[in-house]
Amino acid sequence: MKPHNGAGKTITDESLREMVRHGSEEYPFQYYVEDPWMFDFHCIDWHWHPEVEFVYVEKGMVECLVGSDRHLLSAGTGIFINSQVIHRMEATESAIVPNIVFSPALLSPEESLVYRNYIQPILNSSLESYTLSPNAGQNEVLDTLLSVFILQESGNACEMETVELLLKLWRMMYENMEITESISAPRSSVRTQAQLQIMMQFIHKNYSRQISLDDIAETVTLSKSSVLNLFNKNIHTSPINYLVNYRLKRAAKLLMGTEDSVSAIARDTGFENIGYFCRKFKETFQVTPGEYRKSHKLL
């Protein structure tokens, strides 16, 4: 296994942009084999990157949340995730998920005719993701994607052969997507993601104090109802639930990394009522804070 970001962590900046470089400046391509179950909280958490990504589920089942959509991917299926689209991958048990992340500029220079006519239309379209399934007649696309994986695993991956396969993959995607009608359609998620990132940054910086829905909405000058709709549609939870879950994640880290009392940790992560904290913690982690600390100290 080659986890994305070292020891099972999704490392992002305050805008949720992933901080890991995928490949090199000369060859912006990287192949990974990941298991979301091995990551913190059994998920590759919300992040985005300027590169595009192709994901395949080799074994198990994962839930992929992309922009406003939720996809349940079983073994033998995959998904294309467009550039700059926020996404998250969850698992309820171990799964093997090979994937490739690469810059579209690897396929052709940005000023070229090929880039302008075949690559940019997909990048600039309203398309956030595109599922790949044998049942939808996409066997050739999946076979080509698997050929890219096999080449990387051979130990002597040739950059030219890899790019040849990526160009073939892109051509088939372009033909199958039938995106010509949506080329001029603005991707609504670009503005939406910016607003989400601003609000998430505010939550990440201020989770330890008492903040309200009004406080969150003020960061992007939207109404409370608009903020509720934006969160529910794009990350499938409310702003307050997101805040509570983020506090619980921070509390879990403190339970593992400090000797602070449970009540002190509850207070430091923004919970005014320790009973409520303990109840929500057990709902999320299926164990009490004390049991969580004890089990992780034994690992």
Query: Quick check: is 267 in a domain?
Result: yes
Q: What DSSP designation does 116 have?
A: I
Residue 160 falls inside a structural domain: yes
pLDDT at 67: 67
Give the residue with greater pLDDT, 234 vs 90. 90
- CA 34 and chain centroid, separation: 13
CA atoms of 215 and 202, how far apart (whole Å):
9
- What's residue 4's pLDDT? 44
pTM score over 0.85: no
Which of 136, 162, 182 marks a domain boundary? 182
Give the whole-angstrom CA distance, residue 225 versus residue 216: 12
Q: What is the tally of helices (H) and strands (E) in the chain? A: 11, 9
Kindly state whether residue 15 falls inside one of the protein's structural domains: no
Supply the pLDDT for residue 6.
42
Q: What CATH number corresponds to the domain at position 276? A: 1.10.10.60
Q: Are residues 44 and 171 in the same domain?
A: yes
Q: Are residues 166 and 55 in the same domain?
A: yes
Instruction: Write the CA distances from 173 to 31, 122, 276, integer angstroms.
Output: 19, 9, 49
Q: Are residues 192 and 169 in the same domain?
A: no
Segment 238-266 shows an average pLDDT of 93
Interval 10-35: pLDDT, tens: 787 766 788 899 999 999 999 999 99
* Environment class of 156 (CB within 10 Å of its CB; exposed 0-12, middle 13-18, buried 19+): exposed
> Does any domain span residue 284?
yes
Quote the distance between the C-alpha of residue 104 and its chain's center. Answer: 19
Could you tell me where the beta strands, DSSP code E, fall in 103-203?
129-132
Whether residue 96 is found in the same domain as residue 123: yes
Return contacts of 176-184, CB within 8 angstroms, 24+ apart: 176/138, 176/141, 177/122, 177/125, 177/127, 177/130, 179/121, 179/122, 179/125, 179/127, 180/121, 182/125, 182/126, 182/127, 183/121, 183/124, 183/125
Give 220 or 10, the one with higher predicted confidence: 220
Secondary-structure percent of the chain, ordered helix, strand, coil, rounded to 5? 50, 20, 35
Picking from 182, 214, 236, the residue at the C-terminal end of a domain is 182
Is 115 in the same domain as 54?
yes
Query: Average pLDDT over the chain, rounded to whole?
Result: 88
Which of 164, 182, 200 corresponds to the end of one domain? 182
Query: Are 170 and 193 members of one domain?
Result: no
Is 131 in the same domain as 230?
A: no
pLDDT band at 186 (very low <50, low <70, confident <90, very high): very low
Question: What is the count of structural domains for the chain?
Answer: 2
Domain CATH for 127: 2.60.120.280
- CA 241 to chain CA centroid, Å, is 18
Assign 295 a pLDDT band (cuts: 50, 70, 90).
confident
* Closest C-alpha among 295, 208, 213, 197 to residue 248: 208
- Residues 78, 201, single domain; the answer is no
Residue 109 belongs to a domain: yes
Assess whether 174 and 213 both reside in one domain: no
The answer to whether residues 36 and 178 belong to one domain is yes
19 located within any domain:
no
pLDDT at 179 over 60: no
User: 114: how many CB neighbours lie within 10 A of its CB?
Assistant: 13
Structure token digits, residue 298: 């034994």
> Token pair of 141, please?
């696309």
Q: Using one digit for the tens of pLDDT, what is the confidence trace for 41-81?
A: 788 988 889 999 999 999 999 999 886 678 999 999 999 99
CA distance 45 to 43: 5
Q: Are residues 52 and 124 in the same domain?
A: yes
In the predicted model, what is the mean pLDDT of residues 167-176?
93
Domain limits for position 120 = 29-182
Measure the CA angle with vertex 136, ends 114 and 153; round to 5°.
65
What does the pLDDT average to over 176-181? 61
- 159 lies in some domain: yes
Residue 163 inside a domain? The answer is yes
The residue with greater pLDDT, 137 or 140, is: 140
Do residues 64 and 172 share a domain? yes
